[in-house]
Amino acid sequence: MPRIAAVEAIAYRQAVRHRGAMATLAGVPRRAFDTLLVRVEAEDGLVGWGECFGLYESWPVVREMLRQLVGPGAIGLDAQDPAGTAEAILRRFHGLGASGPFLHAVSGLETALWDIKGKAAGLPLHRLLGGEGCESLPAYASLPRYGAADVVMRETEEALSRGFRAIKLHEIRAPEIRAAAACMGGAGDLMVDVNCAWSAQGARAILSDLADTPLAWVEEPLYPPDDYEALAALRRDSGRVIACGENAASILDFARVAQAVDVVQPSVAKIGGVSAMLHVAQIAKRDGARFAPHSPYFGPALIATMHILAAIAPETPVEAYFFDLDPGPFGDTAMPQGARFAVPQGPGLGCDPDAEMLARCALP
């Protein structure tokens, strides 16, 4: 078996091109988007690429996890056994807990090993996972938060003009949500991701105020995000479709998530990689919840999510973060065209980064 010979962490930055208004991510103005890659090289020369969660400027912490623990711990392990290798690392460092920056680092490594496994087999990941072949997937526009009804309406119109018919807001007030709904005129699906900004009482008040506004789902409405009893109660009392899961700490959490909400949303860059995502999909199916991954990324995490959905749920829309960015190392593969993503058909993830572009935008 080919063993892992080297693990490298590479961060890069893409500047955000604002269309006249500053967008925010979790309340912080967003001027650039940083991505943390994992490059894994096997003894036989095959190279795989993965991505770790690094939003909120957390990527330097995750990078150190890769450099100091996860990467060295992976050297010599099987390069074509993603789940087994990830499990070996989790067991070795179990005292760190199976969540947070440590698990984010393992997630990127595990995804890179699937890339290697697909390349070794000569198959795109979605075929390796048992898919029958899928060339493209629907996408929904995931708008950042603006906090102003006129800007929300303008950005909703922009998304509609690009062909999107499903749009997700990150607004937390009724006027902005109504503005988007009025712009859409009842056509398509409108979702709202609250990013855990409401209390249980506040959520009930706002959702009551929005009683006449159709919403396909309300995502992460409450803080803390792991108060699953409160989420289940809000679902029951409001009659709304509730979604959550991007902040679930481990696979074990999803046994509770899938029973408390209607839509489960694991992130391949946070939950343990591709194998963990497939496990969560099985949990969702068992408990009758929809599987709709969290994927506001522009690198291997997004591409891996596309392959997973192409294999097991090709009608599920992929989350497309609605930022215009400077060109990045994954080119058009990471951007939807006409509200659809083209699924890469090359071996593994089917999209290695452009070396020259990566070097140009790499962070120290």
DSSP SS3 for 221? coil
- Over the stretch 39-60, which tens digit does the pLDDT of each residue have? 999 999 999 999 999 988 899 9
* Model confidence, pTM: 0.97
Q: What is the mean pLDDT of the chain?
A: 96
Query: For residue 55, what pLDDT is reported?
Result: 87
Query: For residue 57, what pLDDT is reported?
Result: 87
Query: For residue 26, what pLDDT is reported?
Result: 64
Question: With 90 as the cut, is the pLDDT of residue 38 above it?
Answer: yes
Among the listed residues 57, 69, 68, the one whose alpha carbon sits nearest the alpha carbon of residue 11: 57
CB 325, CB 296: distance < 8 Å: no
Round to whole Å and give the CA distance between 80 and 208. Answer: 51
Round to whole Å and give the CA distance between 320 and 324. Answer: 11
Query: For residue 24, what pLDDT is reported?
Result: 73
User: Poorest-confidence range of 26-35, 98-107, 265-274?
Assistant: 26-35
- Over the stretch 146-204, which tens digit does the pLDDT of each residue have? 999 999 999 999 999 999 999 999 999 999 999 999 999 989 999 999 999 999 999 99
**Mean pLDDT, range 206-212, rounded to an integer:** 97
DSSP SS3 for 282? helix
Round to whole Å and give the CA distance between 357 and 340. Answer: 24
Query: For residue 263, what pLDDT is reported?
Result: 98
Q: Tell me, rounded to whole angstroms, the distance of Cα 306 from its chain centroid.
A: 10
Query: For residue 98, what pLDDT is reported?
Result: 83
Q: Tell me: cis bond preceding 224? Omega within 30 of 0 counts.
A: yes
Percent of the chain with pLDDT over 70: 99
Domains of the chain: 4-122 (3.30.390.10), 127-353 (3.20.20.120)
- Over the stretch 277-315, which tens digit does the pLDDT of each residue have? 999 999 999 999 999 999 999 999 999 999 999 999 999
Output 119 or 26, whichever has higher pLDDT.
119
CB 347, CB 143: distance < 8 Å: no
